[in-house]
Amino acid sequence: MTGDGVLSDFVDPASDRAVYKQIADHLRQAIAHGRLVPGDQLPSETQLMAHYQVARMTTRHALRLLQDEGLISAEHGRGVYVRSRRPVRRLASDRFAARHRMDGKAAFLAEAGQIAADAGVDMIRISQSPPPASIADRLNLSDDVPVVIRSRRYLLDGRPVETAVSYIPADIAAGTRVAESDPGPGGIYAWIEEQGHRLQRFTEEVTARMPSPAEVRMLALAPGVPVFQLVRTAYSVEGRPVEVCDTVMAADAYLLSYELPAH
Amino acid sequence: MTGDGVLSDFVDPASDRAVYKQIADHLRQAIAHGRLVPGDQLPSETQLMAHYQVARMTTRHALRLLQDEGLISAEHGRGVYVRSRRPVRRLASDRFAARHRMDGKAAFLAEAGQIAADAGVDMIRISQSPPPASIADRLNLSDDVPVVIRSRRYLLDGRPVETAVSYIPADIAAGTRVAESDPGPGGIYAWIEEQGHRLQRFTEEVTARMPSPAEVRMLALAPGVPVFQLVRTAYSVEGRPVEVCDTVMAADAYLLSYELPAH
DNA sequence: GAGTGGTCTAGACCACCAC
DNA sequence: TGGTGGTCTAGACCACTCT
């Protein structure tokens, strides 16, 4: 339904609060109170203009505000809709535990199989060149030493949700499978261990920010959706960093879950 | 400096790409390439109008785009400036390790002391009422059982960076100090342990999203800055959840760091 | 074709800041 | 006082979607 009793109030043009903010407040409350639920269509700009007796730019300004908050999404030619908070993909901190490498699946596919029918990888690209300085730091390498770079994109139910770029020192990648699209059962980590490098631990550094235009394209992000940037470093039992993985994830698709000891 | 050689290019009104997006692209590149560095003032709207021969709303639209990406911030009456990516506060996953509870400081203050001269807490409020359903779930309680609720806000160098709300079952809070502003040396966890509840582990669930208007106020957030929401549950050695802490953090001020075993 | 959102113009007045 | 960004108007034309 498109706003029957949704727009009960009117705005006060004399108020200190800008008119477009008042309109946004009304709509935000309608969503918060459940008068508008995910999937519902909001009143059209024309209807909002008529109801609030304002110019079109004022209604657009209000809608833009809600879009930036991630509450609604505008669809050209169709209307403006309340965003559905899609079920998130839960990333548990034990997802790289060795037991998950045993069953022949890479971490993403193993987890994804539990919640989505269709999970996949595309845009796999493999190259060899010196890494960015921040990555070289983490690998304890000088940034003029070439490393193997594997980048790819992960899909869930056909929707892109994550891009990942792995950096692997050349001597560790010296086998063969890294140059292939499919590193084989168990993913990169299983493959690295098969080469005789026992993994001991990972560190993950998590930040959140708004996406660049390129990331918006790659992840098909709606306005108002931030991204997680997660940089994971894998260490061998000798304490040597053997891989750095730089991933960018659509934040509306993920919940990161960590387990911390108290001792 | 306000844009000497910054605006070398012109826009193509016949292009498929909207004019305001082209202007945003130019400015974004100027920032990416270091022609504009954090703190620099962008050309004013008037200058942009003259340079690109467009209406004011078009320049504003372009600037709004960059603001939503978190790249710039507009200051009323002063100008538009490139945002400085402030040094982040690093949250290590061992910040709740027992050794940190021994030295008489709560986790936030203990960590903050290492990177900031001035760290503090304000807006402390303590009440007792039934928790939200999602919290009751995590505490294994029915949501009509009252719990002790401690909410507060953390400041770094005078700037608010985090709000936190702790929910503690009434029988565990049955001591005295929880009702006071200061839970005492070591913070809430030290206090809970002094009551005889040994802590074993924590779980942290991390999501990221755009802030609500209330959160924008509480954290003095600039446009284009997302928030982390981190819900931490503390478990005693008996496996009982003894506290849930729901925190919202300015994402531009934090880097979350976790350590994961590979076994 | 009718209705929707997307872009853009050319003005206006206001609030804030620095000089 | 002059320049800055913030709000708002009243139009215009376009692109997309659905029927």
Task: Report whether pLDDT(A4) > 60.
Answer: no
Nearest-CA residue relative to C1' of C9: B55
On chain A, the residues whose CB falls within 8 A of the CB of B98 are: 262-263
Distance (Å) from CA B16 to C1' D18?
24
pLDDT at B3: 42
Interval B171-191: pLDDT, tens: 888 765 666 666 666 678 888
Nearest-CA residue relative to C1' of C10: B55
Of A203, A252, A258, the CB nearest to B204: A258
Nearest-by-CA chain B residue for A235: B262
Task: Report whether pLDDT(A90) > 90.
Answer: no
Residue to mutate among B65, B209, B233, with most A CBs inside 10 A, is B209
pLDDT at A102: 58
For the ranges A146-155, B5-14, B168-177, the lowest mean pLDDT is seen at B5-14
pLDDT at B185: 61
What's the pLDDT band for B2 if we cut at 50, 70, 90?
very low
Task: State whether residue B39 sits within 8 Å of chain A by CB.
Answer: no
On chain A, the residues whose CB falls within 8 A of the CB of B97 are: 261-263
Distance (Å) from CA B42 to C1' C2?
43
Of B25, B28, B257, the CB nearest to A203: B257
Of residues B252 and B7, more confidently modeled: B252
Encode chain B in three state secondary structure. Answer: CCCCCCCCCCCCCCCCCCHHHHHHHHHHHHHHCCCCCCCCECCCHHHHHHHHCCCHHHHHHHHHHHHHCCCEEEECCCEEEECCCCCCEEEECCCCCHHHHHCCCCHHHHHHHHHCCCEEEEEEEEEEECCCHHHHHHHCCCCCCCEEEEEEEEEECCEEEEEEEEEEECCCCCCCHHHCCCCCCCHHHHHHHHCCCCEEEEEEEEEEECCCHHHHHHHCCCCCCCEEEEEEEEEECCCCEEEEEEEEEEHHHEEEEEEEECC
Of residues A11 and B228, more confidently modeled: B228
Interval A71-89: pLDDT, tens: 999 999 999 999 987 667 7
On chain B, the residues whose CB falls within 8 A of the CB of A70 are: 209-210
Interval B199-227: pLDDT, tens: 999 999 999 999 999 999 999 999 999 99
Residues in Cβ contact with A2 at an 8 Å cutoff, skipping those fewer than 6 apart:
A40, A41, A42, A43, A44, A47, A79
pLDDT at A2: 43
Task: Report whether pLDDT(A114) > 80.
Answer: no
pLDDT at A263: 73
Sign of the dihedral defined by the CA atoms of residues B77, B2, B71, B21, in that order: positive
Nearest-by-CA chain A residue for B99: A263
Nearest-CA residue relative to C1' of D9: A55
Q: Give strand pairing partners of A151.
A: A125, A165
On chain A, the residues whose CB falls within 8 A of the CB of B200 are: 261-262
Query: How far away is chain A from the Cα of B18, in angstroms, using its nearest Cα?
Result: 14
Interval B46-58: pLDDT, tens: 999 999 999 999 9
Query: How far away is chain B from the Cα of A93, in angstroms, using its nearest Cα?
Result: 7
pLDDT at B157: 79
pLDDT at A44: 96
Task: Report whether pLDDT(A182) > 80.
Answer: no
Task: Report whether pLDDT(B1) > 50.
Answer: no
Task: Report whether pLDDT(A134) > 90.
Answer: yes
**Whole-number mean pLDDT of chain B?**
86
Q: Which nucleotides of C are covered by protein (CB under 7 A)?
A: 3-12, 15-18
Interval A49-73: pLDDT, tens: 999 999 999 999 999 999 999 999 9
Burial class, B231, CB count within 10 angstroms (exposed 0-12 / middle 13-18 / buried 19+): buried
**Selection from A118-127, B118-127, B195-204 with the highest mean pLDDT:** B195-204
66-85 in A: which are within 8 Å (CB) of B? Answer: 68-70
Query: How far away is chain B from the Cα of A117, in angstroms, using its nearest Cα?
Result: 23
Interval A183-208: pLDDT, tens: 666 678 888 888 888 899 999 999 99
Query: How far away is chain A from the Cα of B179, in angstroms, using its nearest Cα?
Result: 24
